[in-house]
Amino acid sequence: MVYNVSKRKLFLFFGFLCTGLVLILMAKGPEVSRKSLISAWAVIEQGLRYKDSVVREEAVKALGLINSTQSDRELAAALNDESEYVRIWAAKILAKRGNYSGKMTLLRILSNTAQPPKTEQTGPLATLAKMKALAKGRIRGEAAKALAYFDDPELMSILKEAKKDDDGRVRDGAAVALALKGDRSEVIVFSSAIDDPDQGIRLAAVEALGAVGDPKSVSPLIQALNDNDESVRAAAAKALGQIKSSEAADALAEYLRDQSGMVRENSAWSLGEIGAQEKIPNLKASLQDPNGMVQLAAAEALGKMDNDTGLPTVESALASNEMDARTRGALVLGHIKTMPSQNLAIKTLEDGNIKTRLGAAVSLFKMVNRKDAE
């Protein structure tokens, strides 16, 4: 009889122990089934071959979440995509993995300057030529930034030469790359440019500081939150999230009430990046914001802090007829660590829109990466 009682106690002890382990695993987030990941990979493959280059670009970004031989093969193939943005992203992701096969791809884009028209153009043709030149400069600037991820000493001289380019976006891109490689003087230049009377220069400076991610830039960026231009304020709010400094949490919480929806959205997103637990009440209030994108940014931020209060907001967005809201909602699911969130992501893999399906696929792979990290 004594033996039976001891045996029963031992059984109960192991029962409680197993229950505890299950609860710990549940707290870290549910496992994603192999079947669901196969379906998610199929969506990404569909995106990589889609006719719209914006979709292909997002699919290539998704490959950055999947560290596998098959993912590397797809990235290598994307180096030959007709879209320069797709090629830049593929080269950058490969470089972060120590694969520098995209170096020449980026150098070709950087050296491909826009050719001036043979005859002086006026009217619509002149406007079109100007737009093409702007787009080309922006692309070349992004290629210059991506070179920062290559461990190649000879690129320093190329980047320094690019700082003399006729196009300001290329100069800025090269300066960001040099800063990422450790050139502190570039950060000082960008920080001082925040006070420039030209709105375009202020905006470029704020975006550059966010890309560099230097914690010493927090003070000038908080100052930029007071800019009279909403695009500069919004860029400053996002940059503070990229730096992830808790010092900025109070200021960002204040700008959750900014008159600009774009500023409110970026402020909410950045609070999530910072992990500002003390601002959870502010973010919950933003779930009632009149702007749907602000609501989703708040839901994402809460999810990053293990709070699933925003899941009904995401469900509502996924049920709407607004494609942008559905796509953003699908992406937010990857930050909410619950089984209902995972089930919703799996269901969304069957959405009628490729961008929304791709967002759901990205979310499922984010869930896997988060589980592995834990």
- List, for residues 6-20, the tens digit of each pLDDT value: 444 444 333 433 333
Residue 60 scores a pLDDT above 90: yes
Question: In this predicted structure, which of 112-116, 336-340, 367-371 has the lowest mean pLDDT?
Answer: 112-116
CA-to-CA distance for 364 and 332, rounded, in angstroms? Answer: 11
- Of 64, 36, 43, residue with least CA distance to 357: 43
Q: What is the pTM of this model?
A: 0.85
CATH architecture of the domain with range 309-374:
Alpha Horseshoe (1.25)
Residues 6+ apart with CB under 8 A from 120: none
Residue 45 scores a pLDDT above 50: yes
CA-to-CA distance for 151 and 99, rounded, in angstroms? Answer: 10
Residue 166 scores a pLDDT above 50: yes
Mean pLDDT across the stretch 137-148? 95
Please report, as a single letter, which amino acid is at residue 310: G
Q: Are 60 and 48 in contact (CB under 8 A)?
A: yes
The rounded mean pLDDT for the chain is 88
- List, for residues 206-254, the tens digit of each pLDDT value: 999 999 999 999 999 999 999 999 999 999 999 999 999 999 999 999 9
The per-residue pLDDT for 304 is 97
Q: Are 286 and 261 in contact (CB under 8 A)?
A: no
368 or 251: which carries more pLDDT confidence?
251
Residue 341 scores a pLDDT above 60: yes
CA-to-CA distance for 37 and 35, rounded, in angstroms? Answer: 5
Q: Are 25 and 337 in contact (CB under 8 A)?
A: no
> How distant is the alpha carbon of residue 314 from its chain centre?
18
DSSP class of 81: -
Residues 6+ apart with CB under 8 A from 228: none
Distances (CA, A) of 171 to 177, 297, 324: 10, 32, 33
Distances (CA, A) of 47 to 29, 41, 181: 27, 10, 33
Q: Are 249 and 241 in contact (CB under 8 A)?
A: no
Distances (CA, A) of 259 to 233, 234, 282, 291, 324: 11, 11, 16, 11, 21
CA-to-CA distance for 29 and 275, rounded, in angstroms? Answer: 18
Location of structure tokens 């994108």: 293
Confidence of residue 113 (pLDDT cuts 50, 70, 90): confident
Confidence of residue 330 (pLDDT cuts 50, 70, 90): very high
Mean pLDDT across the stretch 106-119? 75
Confidence of residue 193 (pLDDT cuts 50, 70, 90): very high
176 three-class SS: helix
Q: Could you report how far apart the first and last alpha carbons of the chain are, in Å?
A: 44
Domain boundaries, the chain: 309-374
Question: In this predicted structure, which of 124-128, 180-184, 349-353 has the lowest mean pLDDT?
Answer: 124-128
